[in-house]
Amino acid sequence: MKLNFCSLSSGSSGNCYYLGNEFHGILIDAGISATSIRKFLKNMDISMQTIMGVLITHNHIDHIRGLEVLTRKNNFPAFTTHKIWNSILTPQKNISRDSMREIFLMQKFHVADFDIEAFPVCHDAPETIGFHICAGDKKITIVTDLGHICQTAAPYIKAANLLVIESNYDEQMLVNGRYPHYLKARIQSDHGHLGNHQTAAFLADIISDNLSDICLAHLSINNNTPELVLQTLYQTFSERGIMLNGQPRISILNRNIPTKMIKLTE
Ligand SMILES: [Zn+2]
Ligand SMILES: [Zn+2]
How many whole angstroms from 62 Cα to the centroid of ligand 1?
5
Kindly report the number of other CB atoms within 10 A of residue 10's CB atom. Answer: 30
How far apart, in whole angstroms, are the C-alpha atoms of residue 263 and residue 105? 29
How far apart, in whole angstroms, are the C-alpha atoms of residue 211 and residue 229? 19
Q: What is the pLDDT of residues 187-196, one digit of tens each?
A: 999 999 999 9
Instruction: Pick the ligand that lies closest to the CA of residue 220.
Output: 1
How many whole angstroms from 221 Cα to the centroid of ligand 1?
12
How many whole angstroms from 33 Cα to the centroid of ligand 2?
17
Calculate the average pLDDT of the chain: 95
* Amino acid sitting at position 142: I
Q: How far is CA 107 from CA 115, 184, 263, in A?
A: 10, 35, 27
How many whole angstroms from 136 Cα to the centroid of ligand 2?
30
Q: What is the DSSP string of 92-130?
A: S----GGGEEEE-BT--EEETTEEEEEEE---SSS--EE
Q: Residues near 87 by Cβ (< 8 Å), separated by ≥ 6?
A: 58, 59, 125, 126, 127
- For position 96, what pLDDT does the model report? 85
Q: What is the pLDDT of residues 154-180, one digit of tens each?
A: 999 999 999 999 999 999 999 999 999
How many whole angstroms from 239 Cα to the centroid of ligand 1?
30
Q: Which residue has the higher pLDDT, 246 or 148?
A: 148
How many whole angstroms from 8 Cα to the centroid of ligand 1?
14
- For position 171, what pLDDT does the model report? 97
Give the pTM: 0.96
Residue among 121, 127, 23, 25 at smallest CA distance from 76 = 25
How far apart, in whole angstroms, are the C-alpha atoms of residue 56 and residue 42? 22
How many whole angstroms from 164 Cα to the centroid of ligand 2?
15
Helix (H) or strand (E) holding 134: strand 129-135
How far apart, in whole angstroms, are the C-alpha atoms of residue 178 and residue 257? 26
Asked whether residue 91 carries a pLDDT value surpassing 80, the answer given is: no
Question: Residue 167 CA to chain centroid, in angstroms?
Answer: 11
